Amino acid sequence: MKSVFDLSENEMKSYGYKIVDAIVNHYKTLEDKKPITSASREEMDATFLTEAPEESSKPEDVLDFVLDNVIPYSNITAHPKMYSFVPGPSNFISAMSDSIATGFNIFSGGWMVSPAAAELEIVTMNWLLKIFGFPIKKGGGIFTSGGSMANLTAIVTARRIKCGDDFSKAIIYLSDQAHSSNIKAIRVLGFKKEQIRILPTDIDFKLSINKLKNEIAKDRLLGLHPFCFIASAGTTNTGTVDPLHEIADICEEENLWFHIDGAYGGAAILSKKGKKVLNGIDRADSLTVDPHKWFYQPYEIGCLLVKDASWLSNTFSEKPEYLRDIEGNESEINFYDYGIQLTRRFRALKFYMSIKTYGLDAFRKAITYNIELAERVEKMLRKSKNWEIISPATLAVINFRYNPIHLNFSEKELDTLNQEISKRILASKEALLVTTVLSGQIVLRMCLINAKTSIEDVKDTLKLCKHFAKKILTEKT
C-alpha cells in the first residue's frame, strides 16, 4: 500500500543525489569559503518563521530552500581556519555511514532487533579498549551522543558501584580546569553543592596532588564518603593532562572511583607523543572519549569505556540479576542495558566504516600532524617579539597573546587589546579565533585538530591578527 509519505523511485533518487551533490560540493569548496557566518534572531525569523503548513510543497522546493538558507548560515566546523572551541573536522566516509544508519533506520538498542549493529558496537568498543589499554574481555563501553552524556553515564555508574543507594555523604572531586559537563552531570544527579570539591590547579593548570590528598583526609575526618575523582586527559582550555599515575595511586589507596575525561585529548593516544603525554590513562575505572572531536567523526558520537562491563549492566539494567539466564546469551549485549537510552541510533557504524576504510594509521598520521602543527606554531610565536606564549602547545592546543614587549603594556591593556583582536578577526569572518581566560588573563586559543589546517593557514591568521593589532594601537593614539 502506498502511504502519504511515499515518493516515486525517481523522485527519491533525484532528491537523494541532489543531497549527495551538495555534500560533495561542500567538501570540495569549503577551503574557498569563509568559516564564519552570523545572523541575528530577527534575520533568521524573517527567513524561517512560519506556521506549520497544512498543504504539501514540492520536495525539491523545500530542499532548495534549505540548501540556500540553512547551510550558508551555519559556521563551517571543518574549515581549516576554524581554531576555536573544538573544531569538527569530520570525514566524508563517516558522513555517508551516518546516512546509511538513518536511511535504514537501524535500531541500535538490543541484540534481537539488530544483531549486526550490536556486534559492530562490541567490535569497535574492543578496538577502543585495546587502543587505551583497557582489558578487552572484562572491559566494555558504550557509544553516547557526546562527551557530556559519557561523563554523566560514568558518574552514575561510579555512584552506583561505590555508594549503592545511599549517597547522602558521598563526595566527588574534580579540578577547576575540568570540563563544565562534569559539573552539569553532578547537578543532574542531584548532588548538593556541599558534596562537590573543586580543587585549584597549579601554575601549569594541572591538579595539585597535595590539595587532593588534604581534601580527602579532611572529608574522612568529617565522616563523609569520598567516592570519585574526575581527572582531565586534555583539558579543553589548554590540553593539559592531570598527573594520572599519582591520581590513580591515591584513588587506589582511598578506594575512589577514577574517572578520566579524555573527551578532548583521548584520541591523541594514537600518536607517539600523545601516548607519552597520556601515560597512565589505562589506570582509570572509566574513560570518556569523544570521537566527534579528534577521531574526526561527524556529530554525534561520544564514548564511555569501563574496566568492567558488569559495572554498566549493574547500573543500567532493569532486569533483576536472577533473570539473566532467560534473557538469552549474555555475550549478546543489549546496549540499552549499558546506558541511559533505550532507542539508540547506530553510532558504531560510522566509527567502524571510517576506520575500516582509512585504516588506523591514517588517524595516527593526522593526529601526529596536528600535535606537531601546534608545536610549530609555538616555535614560530616564540621567535617573534610581538607574541607571548601563555600555555605551550599541548595535544594540539596552544594559548598566546599579542604582547610587543618593547611597548610595556599593562595586564589590563593586554586584555583589552587581545579581546579586540579576536573581535575584529570574527568580524572579518576570515577565521574563528576567540579568547579564553587563563590565570585571569584574556588570551587567544588555537585548537588545531583539523588535518586540513596548514602552517600557511595559521601564518595567514596570525598576520591578520597583527594587522588588526597595529590598527587598534594607531586608532588609540
Q: Name the segment binding ligand PLP (CB under 6 A); options: 73-81, 144-152, 252-260, 459-467.
A: 144-152
Answer whether 302's CB lies under 8 Å from 290's CB.
Answer: yes
**415-434: contacts with ligand PLP (CB under 6 A):** none
Query: What angle in degrees, to the nearest 10, is found between the helix axes of 360-383 and 348-358?
Result: 80
Task: Confirm or reject binding of residue 239 to ligand PLP (CB under 6 A).
Answer: no
Q: Of these, 108, 175, 181, 422, which contacts ligand PLP (CB under 6 A)? A: 181
**99-138: contacts with ligand PLP (CB under 6 A):** none
Give the integer Cα–Cα distance in Å for 367 and 294. 8
**Residue 22 CB, nearest distance to ligand PLP (Å)?**
26
Give the integer Cα–Cα distance in Å for 83 and 95. 21
Write the DSSP string, 321-390.
Answer: GGGGGGG--TTS--GGGSSS-SS---THHHHHHHHHHH-HHHHHHHHHHHHHHHHHHHHHHHH-SSEEEE
Residue type, position 57, single letter: S
Q: Name the segment binding ligand PLP (CB under 6 A); options: 141-149, 202-210, 445-453, 461-469.
A: 141-149
Q: Of these, 90, 94, 148, 461, which contacts ligand PLP (CB under 6 A)? A: 148
Task: Confirm or reject binding of residue 146 to ligand PLP (CB under 6 A).
Answer: yes
Q: Name the segment binding ligand PLP (CB under 6 A); options: 146-154, 196-204, 251-259, 440-448.
A: 146-154
Q: Of these, 290, 337, 378, 457, which contacts ligand PLP (CB under 6 A)? A: 290
For residue 444, give the nearest of 386, 391, 385 by alpha carbon: 391
**Residue 392 CB, nearest distance to ligand PLP (Å)?**
19
**Residue 77 CB, nearest distance to ligand PLP (Å)?**
12
Q: Of these, 140, 226, 239, 302, which contacts ligand PLP (CB under 6 A)? A: 302
> Which residues, in sequence order, are bridge partners of residue 442?
437
Give the integer Cα–Cα distance in Å for 186 and 295. 26
Number of residues that bind ligand PLP (CB under 6 A): 14
**Residue 263 CB, nearest distance to ligand PLP (Å)?**
3
What is the SS3 assignment for 82?
strand
Give the integer Cα–Cα distance in Å for 140 and 305. 6
**Residue 24 CB, nearest distance to ligand PLP (Å)?**
26
Task: Confirm or reject binding of residue 236 to ligand PLP (CB under 6 A).
Answer: yes
Q: Are strands 441-447 and 397-402 parallel, antiparallel or unpaired?
A: antiparallel
**Residue 310 CB, nearest distance to ligand PLP (Å)?**
25
Interface residues with ligand PLP (CB under 6 A) are 86, 146-148, 151, 179, 181, 232, 236, 261, 263-264, 290, 302
